[in-house]
Amino acid sequence: MNTAGQTHNCKEIQEQIIELLDNELSLEERHWVLAEIDKCDECEDFYFKLKKIKNLVSDKLGKKSCGDNIMGNIRAQININPS
Protein backbone atom coordinates (compact mmCIF):
# COMPACT_ATOMS: atom_id res chain seq x y z
CA MET A 1 0.00 0.00 0.00
CA ASN A 2 1.38 3.38 -0.92
CA THR A 3 0.46 6.02 1.61
CA ALA A 4 3.45 8.28 1.05
CA GLY A 5 2.72 11.81 -0.07
CA GLN A 6 0.24 12.28 -2.90
CA THR A 7 -1.97 9.36 -3.69
CA HIS A 8 -4.17 9.24 -6.73
CA ASN A 9 -7.75 8.69 -5.71
CA CYS A 10 -9.89 8.25 -8.82
CA LYS A 11 -13.13 8.97 -7.01
CA GLU A 12 -11.77 12.19 -5.62
CA ILE A 13 -10.28 13.23 -8.95
CA GLN A 14 -13.51 12.54 -10.77
CA GLU A 15 -15.42 14.73 -8.33
CA GLN A 16 -12.91 17.46 -9.11
CA ILE A 17 -13.39 16.83 -12.82
CA ILE A 18 -17.11 17.54 -12.44
CA GLU A 19 -16.29 20.83 -10.75
CA LEU A 20 -13.66 21.58 -13.35
CA LEU A 21 -16.23 21.23 -16.12
CA ASP A 22 -18.62 23.43 -14.16
CA ASN A 23 -15.89 26.07 -13.99
CA GLU A 24 -15.91 25.90 -10.21
CA LEU A 25 -12.17 25.50 -9.76
CA SER A 26 -9.41 28.01 -9.45
CA LEU A 27 -6.63 28.03 -12.00
CA GLU A 28 -4.32 26.25 -9.56
CA GLU A 29 -6.83 23.51 -8.85
CA ARG A 30 -7.49 23.12 -12.55
CA HIS A 31 -3.80 22.54 -13.23
CA TRP A 32 -3.68 19.93 -10.50
CA VAL A 33 -6.72 18.07 -11.79
CA LEU A 34 -5.46 18.14 -15.37
CA ALA A 35 -2.11 16.75 -14.20
CA GLU A 36 -3.89 13.90 -12.43
CA ILE A 37 -6.01 13.22 -15.51
CA ASP A 38 -2.81 12.97 -17.49
CA LYS A 39 -1.47 10.26 -15.17
CA CYS A 40 -4.52 8.03 -15.14
CA ASP A 41 -6.38 6.43 -18.05
CA GLU A 42 -9.52 5.94 -16.02
CA CYS A 43 -9.74 9.59 -15.03
CA GLU A 44 -8.84 10.70 -18.54
CA ASP A 45 -11.64 8.57 -19.94
CA PHE A 46 -14.06 9.99 -17.38
CA TYR A 47 -13.01 13.53 -18.24
CA PHE A 48 -13.51 13.17 -21.98
CA LYS A 49 -16.82 11.34 -21.62
CA LEU A 50 -18.19 13.90 -19.21
CA LYS A 51 -16.97 16.77 -21.36
CA LYS A 52 -18.76 15.31 -24.39
CA ILE A 53 -21.97 14.75 -22.42
CA LYS A 54 -21.88 18.25 -20.98
CA ASN A 55 -21.44 19.72 -24.44
CA LEU A 56 -24.46 17.82 -25.72
CA VAL A 57 -26.60 18.75 -22.72
CA SER A 58 -25.74 22.44 -22.78
CA ASP A 59 -26.53 22.46 -26.49
CA LYS A 60 -29.95 20.97 -25.95
CA LEU A 61 -30.98 22.91 -22.88
CA GLY A 62 -29.11 26.14 -23.38
CA LYS A 63 -29.51 26.32 -19.64
CA LYS A 64 -26.30 28.11 -18.83
CA SER A 65 -25.54 31.23 -20.75
CA CYS A 66 -22.00 30.41 -21.77
CA GLY A 67 -21.90 33.01 -24.53
CA ASP A 68 -19.23 32.12 -27.05
CA ASN A 69 -18.95 28.56 -25.78
CA ILE A 70 -22.25 27.57 -27.32
CA MET A 71 -20.99 28.34 -30.81
CA GLY A 72 -17.73 26.62 -29.94
CA ASN A 73 -19.57 23.48 -28.89
CA ILE A 74 -21.65 23.40 -32.05
CA ARG A 75 -18.57 23.92 -34.19
CA ALA A 76 -16.73 21.14 -32.33
CA GLN A 77 -19.57 18.73 -32.94
CA ILE A 78 -19.74 19.55 -36.62
CA ASN A 79 -15.99 18.95 -36.89
CA ILE A 80 -16.16 15.64 -35.03
CA ASN A 81 -19.04 14.35 -37.18
CA PRO A 82 -17.75 10.98 -38.47
CA SER A 83 -19.15 10.47 -41.95
Closest CA to 10 of 31, 50, 48, 41: 41
Distance separating alpha carbons of residues 55 and 41, to the nearest angstrom: 21
Which member of 22, 38, 42, 45 binds Zn ion (CB under 5 A)? 42
Q: Is 12 a binder of Zn ion (CB under 5 A)?
A: no
Q: Is 40 a binder of Zn ion (CB under 5 A)?
A: yes
Q: Is 18 a binder of Zn ion (CB under 5 A)?
A: no
Q: Is 10 a binder of Zn ion (CB under 5 A)?
A: yes
Distance separating alpha carbons of residues 33 and 15, to the nearest angstrom: 10
Residues that bind Zn ion (CB under 5 A): 10, 40, 42-43
